[in-house]
Structure 1
């Protein structure tokens, strides 16, 4: 190919430039992506020689390595890619306690254990886990002064098994039960915590009810609407053409069940008269 020449005049000087026919502009491929990071070239369609792309990391991660890369004359990116690593956690402060076996660095996913001073205890777990972004879970490590719990609260129509206990210390549990005809709503057990509080809200006892059965091909002829209380009864009758199998009368039990079980209405078999008259009678 024969090059073409262009004469450029710059004041009293002249510059002769040559251009090779068919020469193409140097470009680089799309910049590689990095885990947990972004770069400034995501919206660009092409990357010419001299273009620079910068990298950054998601929140909770820090950039290690070259912050930017540049498209070179050879159509390659200038430097090795950076990487994004999760930000580590600092040694946390433990209120009324200390970290067990302190490490110089804690990376995301690391777990530490802590000890409490005498007379103090942790509520729940005595460990914490380092999360991405340098945050501990749980964020506050606290050892509470061990205090006795008061007498567990009473519940209407129920009782608990701690009435004969003189003192309740951390870790002791109490079980709640309901009187006959009532059922428990909530946690049956509560535990004394280091702070002197019970672990769960007290449960409650609500009256037991029985949902009146529905008998296919039959109807309720005695009882109280759709619900019954323990001790109440309901009575059923089958529609015409059906016969009752089981007991017609049911009684609501204290656990919400019916005794005996609900009856069934089966289609009645046609009646055949087997008696035949003798001839001449």
Structure 2
């Protein structure tokens, strides 16, 4: 990196307007990471070096990409910034046939529970259940995927090659 003025000139007295700039090695310092720690004990990292860090329990890296020492204009910094964030379970927008209790939240901490209610024509986890309770795990995943699925019946019946069944339609079999 260039350290000093980008431009200097010779004035009318034959003197330079400033000291000549110097080239400085691109380095990043070891960062302080709230709720985490750096594995290496280096004091400085060179350009393109990767930072290896771990977050404390109940926290995870904010970015999936590794933090690398990079030049930005006239300074060097970590990209992306090494941060640890609390582990959370998240809900996406409720799909048709799915509602939640509590309905006012979409971010949950480990240990929090959520009731998933499925509307008519929908089920969760097993065909006979239209409601289930799921818990946010310490890894940020739910114990049961909180999404209702549309009820579908199998069309595999002996001696039937093709037919369409609609929800709620009753099929009666006759013996010949």
- Report the TM-score, using the length of structure 2 for normalisation: 0.49
Structure showing the higher strand proportion among its residues: 1
Larger CA Rg, structure 1 vs 2: 1
- Report the TM-score, using the length of structure 1 for normalisation: 0.34
